[in-house]
């Protein structure tokens, strides 16, 4: 699959005129807008953004120099009660260092139609809230009063920051329709930004050049006995580029199952500072391609230099390595030590926060602290190890070269058997079994010399979920049996996660309810803590509602509660790739004891379905041997990500799979 094609293919291009923007202003809510009962192009919409406009200016003041000031104004129409959630808005902002931002709300009102006239209610001071999310981020909130079906809300907010390294991201497309969305940037000639447009819908762009100037006030003191202060002014002229992006009539984002991160496909705009060209100074390149991005990150004090620090762990690691002979042995020793010494504090980041020494001493740190320490330990052990920059699934796919494409780091080791990827932040991770949050297409490996290469993060090995089930059917329909379930690799990882911190009684109650109210007894589990072995669960079960007895006949689905009863792929057209996370194999070996006095009347026929290009296969085989039925069912998906071009094939595959798995055996009396 071509990733670039996937993210940049144009389904349609919406043209708009910039003249129409003049009619959209805060405070000009019309009676016609308030009378509107449904959205004209999406009758199912619970709300819609009537217009949204943003201006991001890099402007100069003598106190701070160049700063970034962004104004955003928005008008939202509420159609249905389910749209009331849009009456609560929020703006996230940074609290940390030079990235610190100041956010203010203004012009916030709720509009309703009352006796044929427009009623305007202002948001009072108790409708604004400010909260600290963590030490890095805050959140400004606003709650609109008097919201009803048919209401319109509008507001404006301003964000100011000294950090001009990134323009604010602009999302044209939302989960509700957007009638009009416009974003303008005002950039002095000294700065060059990388501009990335995502999604399937692209805006019309208008570029203007304007002459600007900066006025400086200088003061000079003269004299010896009597000091005088003289003031003078000087002016610097520069060229400013105004770029306006405009889209109209933007459809709502469609929710689909098995989507990695829907923001990967949202019509949106990202801009990152890539070059600084101050007068009479050398050009400073920040990011141009992946090589320069990697070098910029590696040269950070919180990254490359941290990999050279080893004294803090040597006394602990050296004796553990004394008898290790193979790379695999060394990798496990280092991984287990790193896990035991520093626990993840839930903060992301490819760079260290505390620094590896302090994190090791205190026993906690962010992802950068943990996995840069892990990389340093691996190198100390004589292994060829390097850090790999990663963008987590929640952060989006790292398609375009930029420093913010990544928010995470893992370790990679070159061994004679191939590359091994490692992450010490999760107690259940193992060599080449990473936390699912990191399974996001591609990462960027950085070597000591600053060179880099693309690393495929998508697992290629199938994770197995193998169930052995045997059960007896009583003449009155009660079923009793035993189950042994064995999971490997990522299925084992997820099983361990589901068991972590949950009392056995609570876990079994959920399992019983999930599986049609069965009763479970004699439950046991093995290898939960040994991450190199498959997890194994065994238990006995009984159920009174697992089959039907009608007219002296027994009707039963042979897979019982393990059958896929619904096709998860029902859309006629799929807009986004199907992301399973990892390839997998689900296999069921089932033995069924026919009750005394009964025989088979109807049996499902064997079936086999194969997708093209070895994407997947389904096999269903059943046979009778005297009073015993033997069933084998295999569903094998060999690709973690299925492209939209393959969607119709996948949909038909699951249609056939569900049809076969829901076929029933009919037993009749002899």
List, for residues 59-88, the tens digit of each pLDDT value: 998 888 899 999 999 999 999 999 999 999
**Amino acid 12: pLDDT:** 31
| Tens-place pLDDT, residues 134-163 | 888 899 999 999 999 999 999 999 999 999
For residue 373, pLDDT beyond 80: yes
* Lowest mean pLDDT segment, chosen from 34-38, 43-47, 228-232, 403-407: 228-232
Options 3.20.20.10, 2.60.40.3140, 3.40.50.300, 3.40.50.10490; CATH of 3-285 = 2.60.40.3140
Q: What is the mean pLDDT of residues 267-285?
A: 90
Rounded to whole angstroms, the Cα distance separating 423 from 438 reads 9
Quote the percentage of the chain above a pLDDT of 90.
81
Of residues 554, 555, 568, 561, the one with CA closest to residue 657: 568
Mean pLDDT for the stretch of residues 301-329: 96
What kind of architecture, by CATH, is found in domain 463-669? Sandwich (2.60)
How far apart, in whole angstroms, are the C-alpha atoms of residue 579 and residue 643? 9
Structure confidence at residue 6 as a pLDDT band (50, 70, 90) = very low
The 10s digit of each residue's pLDDT in 582-632 is 999 999 999 999 999 999 999 999 999 999 999 999 999 999 999 999 999
Q: What is the domain partition of the chain in residue ranges?
A: 3-285, 290-456, 463-669
* pLDDT at 23 exceeding the cut of 70: no
Q: Identify the architecture of domain 290-456 in CATH.
A: Roll (3.10)
Tell whether the model's pLDDT for residue 410 goes beyond 60. Answer: yes
**Mean pLDDT estimate for the chain:** 92
Q: What whole-number distance in Å separates Cα of residue 559 and Cα of residue 519?
A: 17
Q: What sign results for the dihedral spanned by CA atoms 85, 254, 457, 272?
A: negative
Confidence tier at 218 by pLDDT (50, 70, 90): low
List pLDDT tens digits, range 422-473: 999 999 999 999 999 999 999 999 998 888 999 999 999 999 999 999 999 9
Q: How is 56-93 classified by DSSP, letter by letter?
A: EEEEEETTTEEEEEEEEEEEEEE-SGGGGGGGEEEEEE
Nearest residue to 61 via CA among 202, 172, 136, 162: 162
The pLDDT of residue 100 is 84
Q: What is the pLDDT of residues 165-196, one digit of tens each?
A: 889 999 999 999 999 999 999 999 999 998 98
Q: In this structure, what are the phi and psi dihedrals at residue 256, rounded to the nearest 5 degrees?
A: -135, 145
Whole-model pTM? 0.86
pLDDT tens digits along 512-559: 999 999 999 999 999 999 999 999 999 999 999 999 999 999 999 999
Check pLDDT > 60 for residue 21.
no
The pLDDT, as a whole number, for residue 95 is 86
Dihedral sign computed on CA atoms, order 21, 26, 28, 32? positive
What is the average pLDDT across 376-387? Answer: 98
- Is the model more confident about 221 or about 317? 317
**Mean pLDDT on 487-502:** 97
Q: What is the pLDDT of residue 229?
A: 61
- The confidence score (pLDDT) of residue 510 equals 96
Q: What is the pLDDT of residue 271?
A: 92
pLDDT of residue 45 exceeding 60:
yes
14 pLDDT higher than 90: no
């Amino acid at each position: 699959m071509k990733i670039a094609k996937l993210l940049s293919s144009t389904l349609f291009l919406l043209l708009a005129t910039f003249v129409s923007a003049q009619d959209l202003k805060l405070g000009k809510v019309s009676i016609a807008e308030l009378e509107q009962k449904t959205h004209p192009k999406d009758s199912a919409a619970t709300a819609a953004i009537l217009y949204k406009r943003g201006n991001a200016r890099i402007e100069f003041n003598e106190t701070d120099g160049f700063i970034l000031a962004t104004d955003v104004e928005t008008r939202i129409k509420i159609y249905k009660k389910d749209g009331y959630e849009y009456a609560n808005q929020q703006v996230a902002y940074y609290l940390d260092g030079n990235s610190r931002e100041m956010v203010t709300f203004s012009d916030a009102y709720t509009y309703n139609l009352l006796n044929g006239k427009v009623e305007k209610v202002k948001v009072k001071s108790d409708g604004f809230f400010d909260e600290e999310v963590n030490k890095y981020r805050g959140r400004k909130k606003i709650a609109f009063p008097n919201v009803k079906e048919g209401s319109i809300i509008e507001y404006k907010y301003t964000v100011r920051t000294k950090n001009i390294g990134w323009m604010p991201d602009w999302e044209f497309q939302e989960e509700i329709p957007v009638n009009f969305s416009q974003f303008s940037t005002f950039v002095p000639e000294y700065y060059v930004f990388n501009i990335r447009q995502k999604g399937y819908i692209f805006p019309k762009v208008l570029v203007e050049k304007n002459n600007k100037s900066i006025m400086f006030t200088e003061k000079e003191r003269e004299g010896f006995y009597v000091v005088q202060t003289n003031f003078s002014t000087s002016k610097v002229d520069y060229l400013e580029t105004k770029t306006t992006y405009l889209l109209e009539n933007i459809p709502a984002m469609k929710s689909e199952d098995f989507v990695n991160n829907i923001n990967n496909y949202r019509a949106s705009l990202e801009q990152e500072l890539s070059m600084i060209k101050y007068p009479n100074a050398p050009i400073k390149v920040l990011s141009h391609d992946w090589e320069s991005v990697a070098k910029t990150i590696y040269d950070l004090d919180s990254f490359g230099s941290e990999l050279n620090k080893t004294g803090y762990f040597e006394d602990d690691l050296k004796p553990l390595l004394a008898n290790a002979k193979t790379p695999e042995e060394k990798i496990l020793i280092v991984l287990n030590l790193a896990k035991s010494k520093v626990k993840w504090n839930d903060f992301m980041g490819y760079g260290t926060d505390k620094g590896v020494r302090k994190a090791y001493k205190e026993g906690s740190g962010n992802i950068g602290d943990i996995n840069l320490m892990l990389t340093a330990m691996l190198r100390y052990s004589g292994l060829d190890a390097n850090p790999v920059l990663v963008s987590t699934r929640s952060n989006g796919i790292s398609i375009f070269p930029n420093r913010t494409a990544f928010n995470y780091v893992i370790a990679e080791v070159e061994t004679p058997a191939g590359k091994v990827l490692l992450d010490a932040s999760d107690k259940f991770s193992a060599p080449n079994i990473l936390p699912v949050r990191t399974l996001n297409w591609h990462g960027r490996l950085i070597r000591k010399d600053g060179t880099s290469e693309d690393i495929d993060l998508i697992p290629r090995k199938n994770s197995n979920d193998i169930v052995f089930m045997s059960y007896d059917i009583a003449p009155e329909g009660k079923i009793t049996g035993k189950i042994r379930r064995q999971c490997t690799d990522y299925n084992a990882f997820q099983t361990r996660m589901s068991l972590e911190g949950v009392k056995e009684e609570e876990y079994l109650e959920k399992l019983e309810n999930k599986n049609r109210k069965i009763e479970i007894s004699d439950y046991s589990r093995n290898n939960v803590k040994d991450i190199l072995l498959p997890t194994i669960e065994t238990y006995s079960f009984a159920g009174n509602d697992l089959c039907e007895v009608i007219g002296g006949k027994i009707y039963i689905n042979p897979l019982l509660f393990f059958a896929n009863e619904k096709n998860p792929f029902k859309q006629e057209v799929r807009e986004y790739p199907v992301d399973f996370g990892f390839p997998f194999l689900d296999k069921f070996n089932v033995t069924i004891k026919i009750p005394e006095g009964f025989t088979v009347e109807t049996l499902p026929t064997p079936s086999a379905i194969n997708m093209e290009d070895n994407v997947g296969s389904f096999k269903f085989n059943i046979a009778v041997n005297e009073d015993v039925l033997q069933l084998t069912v295999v569903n094998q998906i060999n690709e973690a990500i299925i492209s939209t071009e393959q969607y119709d094939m996948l949909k038909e595959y699951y249609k056939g799979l569900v049809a076969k798995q829901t076929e029933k055996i009919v037993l009749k009396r002899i």
